[in-house]
Structure formats: structure tokens, C-alpha cells
Amino acid sequence: MVNSEYVLRAATADDHDRFVSLFATAMMFESTPTDLDRELFEPERALLAVDGDKLVGTAKAMSRDLSVPGAVVPAAHVTAVGVRATHRRRGILSSLMSRQLREVPEALAVLWASEPGIYGRFGYAPAVWGVSYEVDLRKVGPHPVHRGAGRIEELPAEDAPAQLAPMLRELQTKRPGVSGRSEQVWRKQLQDEPENRGGKTARQILVHRDEAGGLDGYALWRGKLVWGPGGPSNEVTVEELVALDPTAYHALWHHLLTLDLAAKLEYGHAALDEPLQQLVSNPIALNRRLTESLWVRLTDVSRALAQRRYASSVDVVVEVSDDLIEDNNGRFHLTGDTEHATCERTESTPDLSLSVGELSATYLGGRPLAEFAATGRVTEHTPGALSVTTAALRWPAAPASIEIF
């Protein structure tokens, strides 16, 4: 229950269209449900707040996996969190989020925050820094591609899901923070209705083949005609770029940075350690902007810490506090390295104390634990434990989330 007026319940398949309509209204956009949307809907994972016969709040979790340091694990992908404007500030959102976190079967939940100020209250923390580019194509100066760099081809949309999926799966083994996609999710991702293009062209799908003919990279992009005082100043929007090899990475970016008639390129899902700056003579013209992207919330501390791997050996007892999930409170003995990990409850004296928020922020290896000790949010009880644990939690590749779900 939210209070005597409102009831929380799981959705049914028949609720789908009303669920979507309420969330779209709360977010102030238009949405027309499709058969594919209904097919992807998991009613048992969607929560509704109901006032009489009226829906007043929504939240859902999608069953997808996520790459974490050294592994790919199930993660609840939380989305469609909204409250009817007439029912704000009545505790509905808090009730939805709290119940959802207690019920998800996965050891972690992830989301993109439309309003970052909301989700820290529920133990979520930004765990991935994203980098957005607004590239001045006339000044950036891309380095030329060397001979023997394979070839770039256009791929028909109907062939894309089967051809692109293996490359995304392989990227998950290389970089944390990447969400996996089922065949249905791929179809949804590649939908390209003209009314949803925002004045841009149809999506272009490029693939890169190595010298042996194998696929090792792809890019999804659109163009937009812009006519300036001096002639064409077209805009390029890169939606997604995946490359499994440095040669493919360079070739795809060179192609996009040298498109005829284009003056600007936008890309919103770069990693903090994105190599693109190494491939241009004027990195300032990339016009980079740092943003928060993926937020993480551990729902089962012991299981989550055992699922990932560690950059160096760690043997530490951490004392965790969690205001929402009682089972996460207590002391946990974590041991691990690059090959294995265990995490079990213990009564031993803690080496470190922290809340679930700090663990969540550092879980994907992109933020150092010592960052939070500087503000008193991590307490070191055993000298040296903080530096050892910080080093173990970090990961060689920065995490990156390449889609908003």
C-alpha cells in the first residue's frame, strides 16, 4: 500500500497501453504502442500505483544482462518510472521504487536518471561517466587510415540484428557497463519510423570487415541537411559505434569524420577513456562534455560482489549499511582476483565501513573507492585496506553504457 487511497500492484498484459500512456504523459512525450512493445512488455516486472480505477504511477524492470568487470551478469534494467502530475508529492514514487528494489531477483539494478536528484535516496549511484561529443568536422583533423585496414560496407536493416548481435556480445567481454540485447530488443533498437527521426535521414548501418572478410565493427548514424550562408553544413548523429579491433575503430571513425558536406558530428555515448582523441590532430575540436550515464544499485551485496572479478588480489571485510534492503546490512568477507571471487557474511572486525551507495558507485570499476573516503563516506579501520580495495575494484577499461533504455 502507498496509503489508504492508493494501491500498488503488479501489472497484467492488459495494462500495457495504459501503462505506456501514463508514463509518456508524465515525461511529456507522445507514444503510440506497437505490437513489438507489447511483446517486450513483462507485466510481472511492471508495477502500478492505482487510485480507484485510475493508474497514477508506473515503474518497470526489464530482464537483460550487463557486462561487469570480468563477467556478464543478469541486471534489472529499470525504466518507465513516472507519476501522474495530479498525484505528485504523495509518496507514490518512493513506494514504487522501494517495492521494486526488494522484489528484483537480480543482484543489481541499473537505470538512466532523467532527474538525478531522485535516485540517490534509494541507494542508486552514478557508476559510469559518459562523454558527449559535438565535433567541429572542419577543424578536427582526422588522421588517415593506413592501407590494409579492411573495408566498410552498408548493411541492410533487415540483416542487421543477426549480423550486429555477436559484435555487441563480444564488446561485453571487453568493457563493463554494456547492456545485452535479445533478438526482440535488437528489433526494437533498430526500429526506424519516419515520424521518430526528428528531421534526420533514415538510419544508416555501416559494418567493417577485416582483411579476411570477418565483421569486427559497426556504426549506426543519421544525417541532417543544414544549409548555411556558405553552402551545405550538414550534421551527422552517431547513435552507436562498436569496434572490436583498433583497425576497425579507426576506419569507422575516419569514415564518419570525413563525410562530404558535413560540418558537425554528435555522439553521446563515448567512454571516459574513449580512444577517439588519439585519432585526430585537434582534440579540442571534439568539444567533449562529461555527463553521468548509468546508475547502479546493488540489491544483493554478497552475490553482486562475488559475480564480478577484481583487477588485483583483495581480501577484506567490509561493513555495509542499507536503509532499504535489510539483508544488505552487515559485514561481508570479500576475497577475489582476476579469476574468481567469493563474498560471505562474517562477524569479523571490519576493515572498511560504507553504505550500499558507495559500493554501487564503484561496482563497475569506473570510480575509485578512495574518492568517497575523501568526504567521509568510506571509513578505513585497517590501515592500507582502502588503497588495496580501491585498486582491486578498478578495471583497466572504463565502463560505458552505449544506449538509453
* Residues recognised as catalytic: 119, 405
What's the number of CA atoms in the CB half-sphere (13 Å) around residue 104?
Answer: 27
Retrieve residue 138's grid coordinates: 572542419
Classify 44 as helix, strand or coil: helix
Cα torsion angle, 209, 210, 213, 217, sign: negative
d(CA 66, CA 172): 8
With beta carbons less than 8 A apart as the criterion, state whether 7 and 49 touch: yes
With beta carbons less than 8 A apart as the criterion, state whether 220 and 204 touch: yes
Classify 27 as helix, strand or coil: helix
d(CA 327, CA 329): 5
Classify 337 as helix, strand or coil: coil
Residue from 251, 256, 252, 179 nearest 223 by CA:
256
With beta carbons less than 8 A apart as the criterion, state whether 74 and 63 touch: yes
With beta carbons less than 8 A apart as the criterion, state whether 400 and 175 touch: yes
